[in-house]
Amino acid sequence: MSGKDTLIVDLGAGYVKIGSASESEPRQVINSVTKAKHVKTRVFVGNELDECKDLSGLYYQLPFQKGYLLNWELQKQVLDHCLKPYADKRPLSEWQVIVTEPCINFSPVAEALDEVLFEEYGFKAVARLPAAFLAAQRDQRQRGVLPADHACLVLDCGYSFSHAAAYRRGRLVPGSVRRVNVGGKVLTNYLKEAISYRQLMVMDETHVMNQCKEDACFVSENFDADLAAMSRAAQRSPLDSEAQERCQKLCCEYVLPDYAQHRRGFVRQLGSQKQQQQEQTLRLGIERVATPELLFRPSDAGIPEMGVAEALCDTLSGLPPHEQPLYTDAVVLAGGSCRFAGFANRLETELRASLPDDFPLGVRCHGDPAAQAWLGGRDLALSPDGALECYAVSRKDYRDHGAALCSERFAQFT
Amino acid sequence: MVDAGVSSRLRETRRLVLDEAARQRRHRRALEALEADNFQADPHADLRVSKLAPKFSDEASSFGPSRDALGGVAASADGKKSRKAKAAGGSGAVGTLGGRLRRNFAALLEEELARRAQLPGASASGSAATPYELAQVGPSRLPPRHFCAVCGLLGPHTCVVCGTRFCSASCYSTHQDTRCLKWTG
């Protein structure tokens, strides 16, 4: 098997990242069958949404629930849509596929996935691997560490939840997975609620606010100082120059899309331009940093859980003490919610504060965090030693030994 | 004396203080709202496909039948299975999966628990916790921060009636006018 006929499908709850191994980056397809308020004659599967003129008031139907693939009626439609360009090139029975699953999966969910890939699509071979595993593979290959020496911590912040997991020599360290139930969806909903109460009713506009989150939000390097500066400004107390700078950095306008001039909103500095007529804007302040802050402090929204940095430390505390410095040297970021500006810096600050000072610390991200698992799959497919073969199950084996073989082989990595 | 009626009604509301259970209930509802996919109702829910409308046969495609204009997919969001999926049987969209087509997360978790309990040795050790539950992180060691529900900045004060945080007198009056005891649900 050569690597070129491999499809890598990172099946995320928010976006499906898909592409063949000969491509350099994945195509991101929104994993939803979407209904638009003003278009009653059709639904939009995946990126067909680009054909929709008015993206306000979209209604999502997601195949994923709480981060697990539970609705195949919807997933099949989205997958059909994603796979079409590749099926046109050559029949799917000549492709092999690497598909991702969550760090901890339920066996019925996993079996259904195997079954659909083999029996509905008829792929030549299937490798079902956790997204965090692929991110670890990517780190190992990019850093050029020998597989036998490799150790890393993966932080996978996705749409539904975030996982911290430790990988050693290409295997998951048993019992090292930690889950924080905060992901992109919670952040968007939190922002939506704050804006809806304070300014403009946007509860229906999940899509627009998700874009607003992506465009305007960032992780503060010192959230408490930002809060203090904004509070002083709100009370009209005199500000020192540092506080003033902080406030200026935070306050901005977000121009909402009008679907005539522009399809996507954008950030504008306050007072940089006169407000145009019929333009709708949001004034953003502390929300810009308070929203991603939930990843680090879920208790801010009343979610009684640790933040991602604490979860990483919790994972680390379960590992053998003499090996811990190996892991802290490679903290790998994966998942779309790690994309916020300043995320890596903040994570480093928080980890540094809670680790012994002789531990090395390296927060690493090889390229776009959202594509990390996909790129890891691509590295795996293209690796000259044919590493993929030991992870994959061929259609023939599936026919002969059934689903049990798949569960057995793939279970080694979860 | 003219506004006696109004003020007595206001006083009535102010005396009502939410107890701990009610506050918990509110809190839980707020958390559920954070998990929701959509806030609004399905915009196509009231759509009816006329029986007289022409039905187009599925276009030939390399894998499975494509969806029809409205019927198949539009219905599938709600409780009922779409007409198409029912009719699909062996040849249809994901016919081989049968009843496993659509699941519910709570049911999945329950099923997993039941399976763990049946495993040999599970009852002996007394722990039937699933990996899913084991991976769940505990509460943070850091003390929670409280934010003003109105402006989002630090909220050192607590509303006596409903327990919501606020930062200043002006935010408190906004809170009383808009949210206190009038919160959604």
In angstroms, the CA A63 to CA A72 distance is 7
Provide, as residue numbers in chain B, all residues whose Cβ is less than 8 Å from the Cβ of A186.
Answer: 34-35
* B135 to A178: CB separation less than 8 angstroms, yes or no: yes
Whether residue A8 is contained in a domain is answered as: no
Q: Supply the angle between the helices A107-115 and A403-411 in degrees, to the nearest 10.
A: 120
Is position B160 within any domain? Answer: yes
Same domain? A144 vs A223: no
Q: What angle do CA A356, A357, A359 make, to 5 degrees?
A: 75
Indicate whether A23 belongs to any domain.
Answer: no
Q: Residue A128: how many CB atoms within 10 A of its CB?
A: 25
B165 contacts B150 by C-beta, under 8 angstroms: no
A218 touches B at CB < 8 Å:
no
Question: A208: which 2 tokens?
Answer: 């627009």
Please report whether residue A269 resides in a domain. yes
**SS3 state of residue A222:** coil
The CA-CA-CA angle for residues B103, B107, B112, to 5°, reads 110
Q: What's the average model confidence in pLDDT over A386-412?
A: 84
Beta-bridge partner residues of A331: A153, A363
In this predicted model, which residue has the larger pLDDT, B5 or B142? B142
- A62 interfacial to chain B (CB closer than 8 Å): yes
A240: in domain? yes
Which CATH number fits the domain that encloses residue A363? Answer: 3.30.420.40
pLDDT at A1 over 70: no
Whether residues A178 and A195 share a domain: the answer is no
Q: Which two tokens stand for residue B10?
A: 């206001």
B138 interface with A at CB cutoff 8 Å: yes
Q: Residue B4: is its pLDDT beyond 90?
A: no
- Considering the domain architecture, whether residues A190 and A225 belong to the same structural domain is answered as yes
Shared domain for A149 and A248, answered yes or no, is no
Mutate which: A35, A37, A39, A73, vs B, most B CBs within 10 A: A73
pLDDT band of residue B12 (cuts 50, 70, 90) is: low
What's the confidence (pLDDT) of residue A353? 94
Residues of B in contact with A178 (CB under 8 A): 135-137
Task: Give pLDDT, residue A402.
Answer: 80
CA-nearest residue of chain A to B69? A42
Query: Residue B73 and residue A175: Cβ atoms within 8 Å?
Result: no
Considering the domain architecture, whether residues A236 and A155 belong to the same structural domain is answered as: no
Mean pLDDT of A56-68: 92
* 8 A C-beta contact, residue A152 and residue A331: yes
Write down which residue in A262, A294, A326 finishes a domain. Answer: A294
Average pLDDT over residues A242-269: 90
Residue B167 lies in a domain: yes
Tokens of B94: 């994901």
- Note the pLDDT of residue A129: 93
Over chain A, what is the mean pLDDT?
91
pLDDT tens across A343-355, in order? 999 999 999 999 9
* Range(s) of the domain holding residue B164: 146-184
Residue B178 lies in a domain: yes
Q: Is residue B134 part of a domain?
A: no
Q: Number of folded domains in chain A?
A: 2
Sheet hosting strand A252-255, strand order edge to edge? A266-268, A252-255, A281-284
pLDDT of residue B60: 42
Which of A187-201, A319-333, B64-78 is predicted least confidently?
Answer: B64-78
A255 and A287 fall within a common domain? yes
Report yes or no: B141 at the A interface, CB cutoff 8 Å.
yes
A285 and A319: one domain?
A: no
- CB-CB: which of B42, B108, B144 is closest to A299? B144
Average pLDDT over residues B34-54: 78
Look at residue B78 in the predicted model and tell me its pLDDT.
43
Q: Which residues contact A360 (CB under 8 A, 6 or more apart)?
A: A325, A328, A329
Q: Which tokens sit at A305?
A: 């859980």
Q: Which residues does residue A30 pair with via DSSP β-bridges, in sequence order?
A: A15
Give the residue, A69 or A385, on which the prediction is more confident: A69
Indicate the pLDDT class of residue A363, thresholds 50, 70 and 90: very high
Q: Is A211 in the same domain as A265?
A: yes
pLDDT-based confidence at residue A412 (cuts at 50, 70, 90) = confident
B43: distance to nearest CA of chain A, Å? Answer: 6
Q: Same structural domain for residues A358 and A213?
A: no
Q: Among all residues of chain A, which has the CA nearest to that of B170?
A: A235
Residue B132 lies in a domain: no
A59: nearest CB among B43, B151, B179: B43
Question: Is B7 inside any structural domain?
Answer: no
Neighbour tally for A255: CB within 10 Å: 20
| Averaged pLDDT for residues B112-135 | 74
Determine the pLDDT at residue A2: 59
Three-state secondary-structure class, residue A17 = strand
Residues A234 and A194 in one domain: yes
What's the ipTM? Answer: 0.83
Chain B residues with CB under 8 Å of A234 CB are: 151, 153, 167-168
- Using a CB-CB cut-off of 8 Å, the residues of chain A touching B44 are 35, 40, 43, 59
Does any CB of chain B come closer than 8 Å to the CB of residue A344? no
Domain count along chain B: 1
Q: What would the pLDDT profile of B62-117 be if each residue is shown by its tens digit?
A: 444 444 433 344 444 444 444 444 443 333 455 556 556 777 888 888 888 888 88
Q: Identify the pLDDT of residue A265.
A: 92
Q: What is residue B95's predicted lDDT score, i.e. its pLDDT? A: 55
Cβ A189–B36 below 8 Å, yes or no?
yes
Interface test with A, best of B39, B96, B118 (most A CBs within 10 A): B39
pLDDT at A79 over 60: yes
Backbone φ, ψ for residue A186 (5° rounding)? -60, -40
Q: What is the mean pLDDT of residues A160-187?
A: 93
Residue B173 belongs to a domain: yes
Residues of B in contact with A284 (CB under 8 A): none
The domain spanning residue A206 has which CATH number?
Answer: 3.90.640.10
pLDDT over threshold 70, residue B46 = yes
Q: Decide if A156 contacts A190 (C-beta within 8 A).
A: no
Task: Name chain A contacts of B141, Cβ cutoff 8 Å.
Answer: 306, 310
Give how far B38 is from chain A: nearest CA, Å.
Answer: 6
Residue A120 in contact with partner chain B when CB distance is under 8 A: yes
Q: Would residue A316 count as lying in a domain?
A: yes
What DSSP string runs through chain B?
A: -TTHHHHHHHHHHHH----HHHHHHHHHHHHHHHH-S-SSPPTTTT----TTSPPPPPPP-SSSPPPPSSHHHHHHTSSSPPHHHHHHTTTSTTGGGGGGSB--HHHHHHHHHHHHHHSTTHHHH-----HHHHHB----SSPPP-B-TTTSSB--EE-TTT--EE-SHHHHHHHHHHTTTTS--
Domain range for A332: 135-182+300-368
Instruction: Write down the pLDDT at residue B50.
Output: 67
DSSP symbols for A382-409: H-TT-GGGGT-EEHHHHHHH-HHHHHHH
Within an 8 Å CB–CB cutoff, is residue B153 touching chain A? yes
Same domain, A226 and A245: yes
pLDDT digits (tens, 9 = 90+) for A217-228: 999 999 999 999
Residues A261 and A315 in one domain: no
Which SS3 state, helix, strand or coil, does residue A153 take? strand
Residue at B98 is within a domain: no
Q: Is residue A4 part of a domain?
A: no
pLDDT of residue A100: 94
A402 within domain boundaries: no
The pLDDT value given to residue A408: 82
Chain A to chain B Cβ contacts (< 8 Å): 206
CB B40 within 8 A of CB A204: yes
